[in-house]
Structure 1
């Protein structure tokens, strides 16, 4: 099944669907210990008795009046310590989803709420009084059940039977009863951890004597199963490799790992929602499958957007909406606030939801989305009921929040969503806002923010996560629509904000300077977000099929193609500098320059702004790390311009190209910026009042790691390959010019005959070693792993075989040039440490260029 479950949070986590394997059959013992052999006659008698006893019995003999019954999607019964499902005949053949999450995780294995498995299942009558559980695949489908090719698809895609159950009772023309105790207690793949997770944590056989069903409850459209499951764990050493294994602490001390696993079994809608085909120019999560049609001459990949179902209450309402009037949907999108949420943050979370109302009004809906407090007094409500979408509040030290959804893989219809909100996300917000906003906003200049400020931060994150649950992906290209100087324009910010999309990672306006008088540094639901909701949720009344809808939707997209505020830039593009996380503006060099000015204002004040009497310097150290982390981000933003390639998805009826190199002037500016802000030692980071309080060293090696990280990124084979490709174009920034700019910047002391300080010596050695390594041990020609998933456009760009490309030739040429420059500079160098350094580098280069040389040629010392 090709589908994507959005699990994007503040840190950008994404979960993909796992592949199901055949499951252990119910009742299969987990132990491999052999039992003593029984006499043949006794065995035959026991076999006959077992066959007789396993047949269906009268309903009342299986489900007595004393059974604890829960009615809903599936009727469930508990009799003593056994659990039974009663499956109505109307649901046999009906598809449902089983979403398995780790409800409570052991130390080291993530956190509660993480997706473990997701499958579409179907009950099916089998022979010999059996009920089968089949895994339904939506990887390949036939376009029409009446077409001959439909049967061909079925013949080539046999759905696995994951489990078989004996019928314990049959209620004629009503339902059948099966026992599910062993099915959930033992290891059945469709309702347990995926194989990769078990391999990663080295979990082996399930310990059924230490596993038990905690509870099973049914609700109108879902049945919830909570199991405490224990796995034996391998004591073998951790395995390295592409998917390294790790031993959990519990496995080290107990040889076993216990976790709570919750499986939600949700009925898929009886009447599927009308699909809306995915468009790569609008950022929605997507689902899809391969379609076979008698009328086609090839297979077609059908990809559609993930959305809630919004429909008019009546035909009269539909007519009103057609005339441009706002109407209320038959079923609005409602998010409830977890009653475990501290009272002081509830309004902010609700505001984050309600802020989306304006977007839905643009799409023709009134009161389409809202947030409500949970009614503790209503005993009919349950947080596990799939009819209720909830913002769940977790008492956790994890600094994150996430917004997943459960959707129908046939159509993309969102069925329910539980936003995960971790208490410690507020610490993350505090750090972000201090490092990006404290130069402008005095409220950020303290170790603990006032509740009013924190509530604003909570509201912004709430809106972002709600956006994900509405189907919206990250739009990392949105902030590029704002010219950098407009980020300092108070009137512009008031009207448009600093980014057109709250779905971008454009946290706060770090470009605004103190003298600009801008106090609104927060992102908000903007032009792009409103447009995306309109594209996804505005009904198309004049058409009858998704194919006809696609033509209308394409016109909507084209009507905004000349306005950058409506542009979507994917979150996974490795080449396009317009699509970046945590950046601002249309020019990273200008924006980062302003950002660094603000960092220089903040850094000297950190001792005062983090001060707390009777506390140590942990918060100062933490914020110093945030300052340096922000500086690294700026370097990363700028580096992406070098060898950059713009990607602008288009359709045949749009003018222009899809791919084009980043303008040469911007790539040149990027290298000039890096030479000035990074490779010229950023000594301002080594504040003499702070360093002795947070580090035992003086930052010499710390600066080297900052510089070397960017150096490694600049000389990434993919980037060098793109520079080679760009060299074939006129007025492009090619490989030779790139090497010239880097080498002349890092070795500027040579022609100037200047002494070379410790920081620059380290940088120069790192540069020389980088080139030497590329020459003597070139990286293998391995293309980066690609990202897959419906709707995710991924093109890693060119990735050449280094030994068969100009990379080797140019690297050798610049090592030879550096060799000559050092030889020329050495006689005039009077600083002793500088001479030691140059002689050392020269020896290294000589050996790399001529490994047979026994005595390196070094100028006589004076």
Structure 2
């Protein structure tokens, strides 16, 4: 139309001009008859053609300029644009996405290589020549897609569309080409930070002009997307009064007002046919997944709960037959962990040994060469981004830790890959643990810096522990309770069995062995429980038709293993079983802790000598002293859990006996006696002034009070009081709340009978005890936790109103008795400060019992 108008306008103007000129020229002549003219033919305007929509020819989109990476998804880069080829065979397939930091801003406690989030996704065809990307959450499913209930499940589990892409071109009508540049440059939650992480890091909106795709590469089973994203920062709040705030600013945020990070997202294709599930068993410690299953004939929804583990299968039917006959065979695909080439060279062999140590356990499950560590050189063509490779990643971080995660198929529990995280400063943690727990008996640990050999063996132990997690194993906090306490001092027994039956326990080092015992083996090792757990999780059942049939066989195995305490699992989440604790040893926490304290008393006076370095201040000494105090607190905690304790032994219907058993009264009284003796009687050994006068202006009065107060608060916590009232109030043979208060009062207020002067430490303690009882006269509510049968993680909870229990009644009775005893003692008290103290406490009790 535009061209048509341009051609007509000059013609009209020309006609107007000629007519005007002729009239002016013949003005004096006789007018002539007007000449009849025929207007020029006009051309009707044609409507504009609508631009063509839909896919273009493949070669018009993917030109010769394309740089191509082939793999799970064929990726093309043309200039700064990225295109994916989504084959029809990929539509509807389950893909696991794992996003990790590649590079992070310093100072936030986050490090390159750490996981940010993970999510399952699916590509699907949409209307109007579009490809959709959905985020998939498996919450419920139906076993049979042909039944009506399958549709009911679908109606209640719609998955969100997180991406919509125009199909730019088609390739042979079976491959759709889409552009993904803006999608991955953007801030989609699945491939970036989630809102919680943003809140903790004080991060706000994405800055698109400073965010880009670094590269996208494809491998046989995964596609890797590396992006650089820059975010603005949440503006700081300026207030006249302090307001609690969530999270912290990164140093870069404060310096520049923005923060830039690199992310790597792995898109990993899940198997078309999921691995056969192995149903979870509460008696064996595996991580687990679960979802609800709705069956057409079922009267309720069922929970499919299944263990997380690697897929180990024979290479052939012949191998499977050989394995059935008892011969160890090689798996079709072994488990291999590559050592990050960024790891300091001298530690690489110890990390590898930590992996290789698991080979013996797999041999007992029928596999040889099933697991190994491998070195990865920077010159290798392998990539830590490639999801076919698992690795131990080394982080240049001051965090004293290591961790062992895994990426697994949420449909079946099959582990696909793992990146164990190893922080540099875990060596500092190991140095402190080992020195404080073993230096009394092991001369090698009496140095500020350990030899490479000793540190290497410590690294090897932690490597084995973290590899265990990536094999699917949870912490077994009950393993150490299977070792009789005196066996920990038997050098031959320890050399043969180790001090705990599982490397998955938090039973760091043998702190019970005394210098005179001659024990030289202080490390945990892969033990009886670990061998059994690997057999349970990785045995192959060639003849079993399904997971239910496997479960029957495994149940019989488990019942037999349960007869051996060294093969039992003790959950890491129990709030009431004293056998299931972190950092503890043996079957008797009181005796083990007595031995541990004896060793601490030998270690403390030597810390100055063992930590010294000319020209340095006493920072090292302060750190080690803090570790001594921390170890003492651990012993107190181990003992305290026996009070109001309940043993929890998960059992199935076909096993004899109950699940829950109250800790014997004698054991609970032994625990309180230990606390009276080691904690409430002032632990003067901890107040070594030759150490304290170098690291602290205080002499330890407040420090001791802090330890004692924390112990009392723990002992008299609401949930413990409820258990004591439940078990002791219904059975006089059990320890009860009145017994606890009687024993505590007898120890803490012993001076009322001995007539001794009450020193400052004891005066503080007695005030703390009195104030605690006064608060219990008007208690509030407490939450009581219990672990229901068959669960993986989690609790049943109930809220108890303590005002409506015997707690205030028992408390009042003990305050009345204490008031009477103080009144009787006052006339006989000659020490001035003791008298002041008793008068003050008496007044507090009277006000508490009868507030004005």
Instruction: Give TM-score scaled by structure 1 length.
Output: 0.90
State the partner residue of 2:519: 518
Q: What's the CA shift string for 1:58-92, capped at 9, x where partnerless?
A: 22232222222221111122222222222122111
Larger Rg: 2
Contact 2:340/2:375 (<8 A) preserved: yes
Pairing of 1:726-765 with structure 2 (within 5 A) = 726-727=727-728, 728-765=730-767
Is 1:67 aligned with 2:43? no
Q: What's the CA shift string for 1:309-359, capped at 9, x where partnerless?
A: 000001110110011111000100011111111111111111111110110
Pairing of 1:397-436 with structure 2 (within 5 A) = 397-436=398-437
State the partner residue of 1:317: 319
Is 1:668 aligned with 2:669? yes
Q: What's the CA shift string for 1:416-474, capped at 9, x where partnerless?
A: 01111111111111111000111111000000000111111011011000000000000
1:224 match: secondary structure: strand
State the partner residue of 2:122: 122
State the partner residue of 2:29: none
CA drift of 1:793 comes to 4.2
Contact 2:364/2:531 (<8 A) preserved: yes
Check 1:531–1:49 CA distance in 2 against 1; reply closer, same or farther (3 A cut).
farther
Q: What's the CA shift string for 1:609-658, capped at 9, x where partnerless?
A: 11122222111111111111000000010011111111111000001111
Q: What's the CA shift string for 1:679-698, capped at 9, x where partnerless?
A: 00001011121111111111
- 2:302 alignment partner, one of 300, 303, 315: 300
State the partner residue of 1:23: none
State the partner residue of 1:455: 456
CA drift of 1:841 comes to 1.5
Contact 2:575/2:785 (<8 A) preserved: no
Pairing of 1:279-428 with structure 2 (within 5 A) = 279-379=281-381, 381-428=382-429
Check 1:173–1:324 CA distance in 2 against 1; reply closer, same or farther (3 A cut).
farther
Check 1:194–1:735 CA distance in 2 against 1; reply closer, same or farther (3 A cut).
same
Structure 2 residue runs of 5 or longer lacking an equivalent are: 1-46
Pairing of 1:75-474 with structure 2 (within 5 A) = 75-106=74-105, 107-237=107-237, 244-379=246-381, 381-474=382-475
CA distance in 2, matches of 1:812, 1:169: 82
State the partner residue of 1:792: 792
State the partner residue of 1:45: none
Contact 1:718/1:799 (<8 A) preserved: no
How many residues end up aligned between the 2 structures? Answer: 802
Contact 1:276/1:550 (<8 A) preserved: yes
Pairing of 1:413-812 with structure 2 (within 5 A) = 413-727=414-728, 728-776=730-778, 779-783=779-783, 791-795=791-795, 800-812=800-812
CA drift of 1:773 comes to 2.1
2:540 match: secondary structure: coil
Q: What's the CA shift string for 1:346-391, capped at 9, x where partnerless?
A: 1111111111011000000010001111144332x11111111111
CA distance in 2, matches of 1:445, 1:310: 44
Contact 1:686/1:699 (<8 A) preserved: yes
CA distance in 2, matches of 1:175, 1:264: 21
Q: What's the CA shift string for 1:731-764, capped at 9, x where partnerless?
A: 1010110111111111111122111101111111
Of 811-820 and 264-273, the range deviating more from structure 2: 811-820
2:235 match: secondary structure: coil
Of 790-799 and 477-486, the range deviating more from structure 2: 790-799
Contact 1:286/1:791 (<8 A) preserved: no
Check 1:831–1:490 CA distance in 2 against 1; reply closer, same or farther (3 A cut).
same
Instruction: Give TM-score scaled by structure 2 length.
Output: 0.91
Of 178-187 and 564-573, the range deviating more from structure 2: 178-187
CA drift of 1:807 comes to 1.1
Check 1:721–1:786 CA distance in 2 against 1; reply closer, same or farther (3 A cut).
closer
CA distance in 2, matches of 1:460, 1:97: 31
Check 1:230–1:785 CA distance in 2 against 1; reply closer, same or farther (3 A cut).
farther
CA distance in 2, matches of 1:791, 1:390: 31
CA distance in 2, matches of 1:340, 1:640: 43
Of 340-349 and 404-413, the range deviating more from structure 2: 340-349
CA distance in 2, matches of 1:623, 1:477: 28
1:783 match: secondary structure: strand
CA drift of 1:258 comes to 2.7
Check 1:473–1:243 CA distance in 2 against 1; reply closer, same or farther (3 A cut).
farther
Name the structure, 1 or 2, with higher relative contact order (CA <8 Å, separation 6+): 1
CA distance in 2, matches of 1:790, 1:79: 55
Contact 2:784/2:798 (<8 A) preserved: no
CA distance in 1, matches of 2:354, 2:50: 60
CA distance in 1, matches of 2:548, 2:795: 27
Structure 1 residue runs of 5 or longer lacking an equivalent are: 1-47, 853-862
State the partner residue of 1:823: 823
Check 1:635–1:235 CA distance in 2 against 1; reply closer, same or farther (3 A cut).
same
CA distance in 1, matches of 2:666, 2:262: 56
Check 1:644–1:785 CA distance in 2 against 1; reply closer, same or farther (3 A cut).
closer
Q: What's the CA shift string for 1:134-173, capped at 9, x where partnerless?
A: 1122110001222221121112211111111111221123
